[in-house]
Amino acid sequence: MKKLTTIISIAILSTGLYSVPAQSDEIVTAMCNYIIADHKDRFRDKLRSNKIKLKRVYEDIGCNGQSLLRFSMIANANDVGGFIVKRLSSSMLKKTEADGVSIYDWANSNGHTDSPITAAIKKRAKL
């Protein structure tokens, strides 16, 4: 019986049906670095290669204590910020974040009113 279990385990591992979960800290760090560098293609590729749906994880991850969109505005990462806005639903863009302020209101009160990301949020959320 032990031999059969070993053979089945080896077969499953060799066929690729089982995979080791990616290190989430490394993924988030890479995403934050791509925001800082404003590398939209690399940011998108990181999501795609790890099979991450941004709208499912957006509320759970952030960079330097900020949400991804806030961090994009702070870093002037307009390409990545625009990409993030396109991937989120309008209701997510209107929703208040952890501090009780929506991303649009935060942008306006922190000097990012003229940011292309703020304009994209306004257009997508119909504000």
Q: Average pLDDT of 73-77?
A: 96
Question: Phi/psi of residue 111, each to 5°?
Answer: 80, 20
Classified as helix, coil or strand, 100 is: coil
- Which sequence spans correspond to the domains of the chain? 22-125
- Average pLDDT score over the chain: 85
CATH 1.25.40 fits 22-125, yes or no: yes
Identity (one letter) of the amino acid at 4?
L
pLDDT in tens, 12-47: 444 444 333 446 889 999 999 999 999 999 999 999
Helical spans, DSSP H, in the chain: 2-15, 24-37, 40-49, 54-57, 68-74, 78-87, 90-94, 103-109, 116-125
pTM, two decimals, is 0.79
pLDDT score at 21: 45
Cα(114)–Cα(106) distance, rounded to whole angstroms?
A: 13
